[in-house]
């Protein structure tokens, strides 16, 4: 039986990718490469947080919530 799964949200995708990059950074031999991977992961975490705030803002200000619909 095949189960249908929802694709990850944008926020989940950013966080999942950041986790993968950090796992890879642990395995890398050279410090510069490791630092770049960690920096990329940190940037993705910030992007996830920004995206999450935008989603919350859109939900908060949706016409249904503020009584305009």
**Distance from CA of residue 9 to its chain's centroid?**
8
Model confidence pLDDT, tens digit, residues 3-19: 778 888 999 999 999 99
CB atoms within 10 A of CB 41: 21
Say which residues have a Cβ less than 8 Å from residue 42's Cβ, sequence separation at least 6.
18
Contact (Cβ atoms closer than 8 angstroms) between residue 45 and residue 18: yes
Q: What pTM was computed for the model?
A: 0.76
Please state, in angstroms and rounded to a whole number, the distance separating the CA atoms of residues 29 and 46: 26
The answer on pLDDT for 48 being more than 60 is yes
């Amino acid at each position: 039986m095949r189960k249908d799964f929802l694709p990850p949200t944008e926020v989940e995708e950013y966080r999942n990718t950041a986790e993968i990059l950090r796992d890879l950074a642990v395995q890398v031999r050279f410090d510069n490469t490791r630092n770049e991977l960690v920096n990329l992961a940190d940037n993705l975490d910030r992007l996830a947080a920004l995206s999450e705030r935008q989603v919350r803002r859109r939900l908060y200000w949706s016409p249904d919530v503020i009584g305009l619909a």
